[in-house]
Structure 1
Amino acid sequence: MQGGDPPSAASPTFSCLQKAVVSLHPEWDRLLERDNVTLRCQGAQAEGNSSTRWWHNGHLLPSRNSNHVIASASVNDSGEYTCQTGLSNLSDPVQLQVRAAWLLLQAPRWRLREGDPLVLRCHSWKNVPVRNVQYFQDGRGRRFSYRNAAFRVPRASGVHSGSYFCRGLIGKLNVSSEAVVVLVEALAISRISPGRLVLLCLLPGLLFAVDTWLYCSMRRGLRSLLRNRTNDTVTWRKSLQDKQEQ
């Protein structure tokens, strides 16, 4: 590791350590110019050393605090952020996008699992008032409000995947945000309890064992039946011969 280059997560020196975690406060990963955001780095620290290192697009930042504050963001603040504490591996990257626009669509997450809540927010530059806000999915209107209310779906499903944008009035200006894709993934296996999953894995083996037992049982029964029939035939023939000799 030389200069300001971030360390490799695969380096043997750090292989036994857990990764640091970067979180956003507020939670939006898409911002407008002049917005404020704080990036927090969570990870184990060495005793007596609480310094944290931050990288932006691979370049080491001067900040050594666990919180990296971006006040009055600009487009140049867009990009990939990573961090590392004294006793942690390099964190997974967090992408931050800063746009120069009147309106911006925001969400806590753009990739959801089926059943998760979907929340979209139509955010305006410097939080100026927006009226007659409408949300669109794949070009079709989904929600309208005279005031700027959020678009919420308590339990999202596959039908809620698509391209979303919002539109509203700022003064007399009719403006729209850029479109963003929301993906709702259907993971059927997540609905199966661990006990049922184990049972499903064991079921083929159980069925094979039962089939084998039945097959062996039937073979033993058939052999016994044939043996009994042979003995009955021999006995009947001996009895008939005894009568003829008398």
Structure 2
Amino acid sequence: MKSVFLIALILALGSCQAAEVAESLSAQDRSFSSVILEGVEAFRGVLQNGSPQYGIPVMAPMKLAQRALNFNSGEFSGTLGVEDFVLQGLDQYEVISMRMEVLRSRLSFEFLFPSVNATTNYDLDMGSGYRVQRNGGAFFALENLNIQGRINYSLGVLSSQLRVKDILIYVSVGNVNSQIENLSKYRIFNRKLNEVVEEFVTLTINDNTDFVASWINEQVTPICNELIGDRTLSDIIAIITGGN
């Protein structure tokens, strides 16, 4: 009987200790999540005002006076020029969820952009067996753009040096709005061509989420680790919170 009582006492104490540890970890999760959420919300100001010390220009709105792009895909080649380009909506995100899991060493998140849109004047000169020249105004928008993902990281045993293991980001779009002038001189054909553009972009984004996530992981993860350098998790949090 004494043995049974002793075992029961040990299990009860162990349960209490486990509950305290779980509550402590849960509190840490909430604390880190809150800090990161504050940083993400503060990033709106960086997008709107830029950060010259880090070489970040104003991106909400993002403006380009003039830019030319040369392309050659084998079948198609040519030049696309844009003037008075304005991209808006990067700062109008809604944070759907933001959760830091200290025990699992990962950060999960989800953002929703109601509309990321661009207006510009374009000039297209393209060759594909015959020459095509088009110019005019253009409006293009990704509506209900959803970005969700997870960042897995690791910490050194002694130094707590932060290392990003992988970054998985999945992108989907609710609707695409294309209003590009002069794709055809006939208005009805021009509308149909814009509908083709809308469908193509929608399918390209929504049917290739795994490919995009893999590509982003391969490209961005090593860049993040290079930028982190020898910094610890505490250093990164201090940067996010401005040293507080």
TM-score when scaled to structure 1? 0.20
Q: Pick the structure with more helix per residue.
A: 2
Q: Pick the structure with more strand per residue.
A: 2
TM-score when scaled to structure 2? 0.20
Structure of greater Rg: 1
